[in-house]
Every structure is written in C-alpha cells, then in structure tokens.
C-alpha cells in the first residue's frame, strides 16, 4: 500500500467505522485497486455476474467486505454495478468462464452464465438492481454477493476505487478453487494470442 491516496482512503475514520461493523475491530486490507472502465470496445467491458470470493479467497468470509467508491458519476450508461440482493446468503456458487465473454480473466456464476446484458436489468431473468452512484458514494458488500457491471456506452471512462477488508485473523486460502488455475491458464492463452 505505497500509494498515499489509497493509504489515506483505507485509513479514513468514516471508512473504518463502517468496515469494522463487518470485520470487527482488527482489520487488514487486500486487493486495493483503481478501476478505470473506458468506453466499450467490441463488448470487452462487461464484467459478468460473479462473487469476489472466487478471486480473493479468504477465511472468515463473514468478516470480509468490499468497499467500492465512485470517483465520478456511475450510471446505467457507463456500466454501473448491478447486484442480486440477498444473494450473499447462498454461499459460494460454482463459477466458470462463459463462452460469450471477451475477457478471459472474468468468471461468472455458472447458473447465470446466460445473463450477459447487464445494461438491461429490466429484462433479465434474475433480480438485478442497478447501483447508480455519485462521486464519493461508497457501496459496502460481501464477497459472496452476486454482482457485475455492464458496458460503458459513454465517451468517458467510469472511475472508481475498491478495497477489500478482512478480519486480521483471516488467511488466504491457498488452492481454494481450481477455477482460479483455469483463469490463470486462460489469461496466459489470451496474452499469447495478443502477442502472437
């Protein structure tokens, strides 16, 4: 966490006040990132319905939370997050890489792999709710919550920062899911095809 902006953000008293409702008094951060979702190019910007637990498997999942903060307006037009309310109660679901995805690093929950238009939640076969946000708004959610984001159909990038917090006693679960090895293999294949 060498970046002063990230350091001040994850240590902000208001942030920690909310985070500790999930993690308890002793917390640690992981997977801090700046997300720049540019205007879409050939359908590559969709992030299908998934659970973060597949990417970041930590013990004590009930004491883990993501904090997703908008740096600019986040709207249905620029690919806002969509969530499935209450889905975190179902536990970890099977994930796979759908055949329609153009980014080999993105998994989806297998049972909803056909839900691929996240900009049109009104016609989805599952209960998707848009999370439109203003700059500074923060969404806190479980790593088991089903969520994703649609295409950015505007001329400007959608910008946000996200960090995951866990109880200090949490540990990374090595060899947690073979899907992670599969994702790494697909990323390697994708990189090879780009480089030739």
Can you give the CATH number for the domain in which 59 is found? 2.60.120.620
Domain that holds residue 84: 4-195
Neighbour count for residue 17 (Cβ, 10 Å) = 9
pTM of the predicted protein model: 0.87
C-alpha–C-alpha distance, residues 117 and 79, integer Å: 11
CA distance 80 to 67: 15
Residue 181 binned pLDDT confidence (cut-offs 50, 70, 90): low
Q: Tell me what pLDDT residue 1 has.
A: 54
For the stretch 80-111, pLDDT in tens is 999 999 999 999 999 988 888 887 778 899 99
Farthest CA pair distance, the chain: 50
DSSP 126-183: S--EEE-B-TT-EEEE-TTS-EEE----SSS-EEEEEEEEEETT--B-TT--HHHHHH
Q: What is the pLDDT of residue 78?
A: 97
In this predicted model, what pLDDT tens digit does every residue of 22-77 receive, in sequence order? 999 999 998 889 999 999 888 888 999 999 998 888 899 999 999 999 999 999 99
**In the chain, how many domains are there?**
1
Chain center to CA of 51: 7
- Reported in sequence order, the residue ranges of the chain that DSSP labels E, i.e. its strands, are 27-37, 47-50, 64-70, 81-83, 95-96, 108-109, 129-131, 138-141, 147-149, 158-167
Which CA distances in Å does 126 have to 55, 83, 114, 178? 23, 10, 11, 27
């Amino acid at each position: 966490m060498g970046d002063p902006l990230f350091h001040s953000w994850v240590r902000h008293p208001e942030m920690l006040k909310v985070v500790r409702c999930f993690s308890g008094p002793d917390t640690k951060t992981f997977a801090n990132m700046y997300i720049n979702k540019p205007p879409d190019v050939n359908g590559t910007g969709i992030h299908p319905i998934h659970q973060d637990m597949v990417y970041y498997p930590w013990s004590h999942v009930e004491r883990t939370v993501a904090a997703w903060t908008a740096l600019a307006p986040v709207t249905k037009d620029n690919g806002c997050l969509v969530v499935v309310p209450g889905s975190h109660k179902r536990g970890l679901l099977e994930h796979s890489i759908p055949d329609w995805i153009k980014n080999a690093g993105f998994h989806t929950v297998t049972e909803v792999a056909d839900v691929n238009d996240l900009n049109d939640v009104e016609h989805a076969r599952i209960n998707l709710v848009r999370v439109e946000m203003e700059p500074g708004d923060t969404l806190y959610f479980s790593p088991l919550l089903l969520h994703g984001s649609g295409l950015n159909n505007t001329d400007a990038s959608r910008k946000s920062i996200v960090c995951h917090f866990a109880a200090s006693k949490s540990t990374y679960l090595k060899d947690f899911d073979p899907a992670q090895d599969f994702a790494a293999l697909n990323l390697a294949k994708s990189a090879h095809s780009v480089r030739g």
